[in-house]
Amino acid sequence: MVQVSSGVRKGYTLTVETLVTKRDHGMRPLKRGDPGFTMIELSVTILVIGVLLTASTLSYLQISRGMRLTGARKQVEGALARAKTVARQENVSYRLVFYSDSEPDPKRNSYEYYCNTEVVDENGNKRWELKPVDKSLTGESVVTEVVGEDTHYYIKLGNNVQIVSTVSVTISPAGTLFRVTPATVNLRVSDRSSSVSIDEVGKITVQ
């Protein structure tokens, strides 16, 4: 028996057994026959957690792919709008070529601008010819390639999005309007797809 004097009324005695019993009240170890989780309950719990984790992962992948596709779609829209703007400002025709995922590097999944430019040959004869030009914006990834006398500027489509097929769009100013060769740029990320189209008068639509 241990005598505890500090903080205890005179004449009152506490034993170590009393202190331990009060402190550990309701915390005794489980014994055989006590209620607890069965193997079936644990298995079901683990299965539910696994299903929830799988669903969360799939949902995240779908959201991620959708965001990548949206970013690439906006990039294509911006490229078409830029071609219309410079064609109007310079009053010349522009061609925009989108290269598919099956094209060899450095063209693969990129696009480039051509401008209708007046050239003079060695005999002094003048003619109009579509020449590659750099119309990239700050922050865009550009790969250059010299082919003959021309330097090509391939602007890479971002977010690892694929261009399904190679297409070209020619935009020519016609008074206050445009003459455009209609085209559709099809985009793909895994099992998700989208497209950007431009019609004969230059209207851009997204699907």
In 3D space, the residue among 182, 147, 168 whose CA is nearest the CA of residue 98 turns out to be: 168
Best CA proximity match to 112, nearest among 74, 148, 151, 84: 151
Length of the chain: 207
CB count within 10 Å of CB 57 equals 10
At residue 49, the pLDDT reads: 78
| Low-confidence spans in the chain with pLDDT less than 50 | 1-10, 12-24
**C-beta of residue 180 within 8 angstroms of C-beta of residue 201:** yes
**What tokens were used for 154?**
């391939």
Residue 16's pLDDT is 45
Residue 8: C-alpha distances to residues 13, 24, 25, 184 (Å): 8, 21, 21, 90
In the chain, which residue ranges form alpha helices assigned H by DSSP? 16-23, 39-90
For the stretch 46-90, pLDDT in tens is: 877 777 666 566 566 668 788 999 999 999 999 999 999 999 999
Start-to-end CA distance of the chain, whole Å, equals: 86
What is the pLDDT at residue 64? 79
CATH number of 64-206: 3.55.40
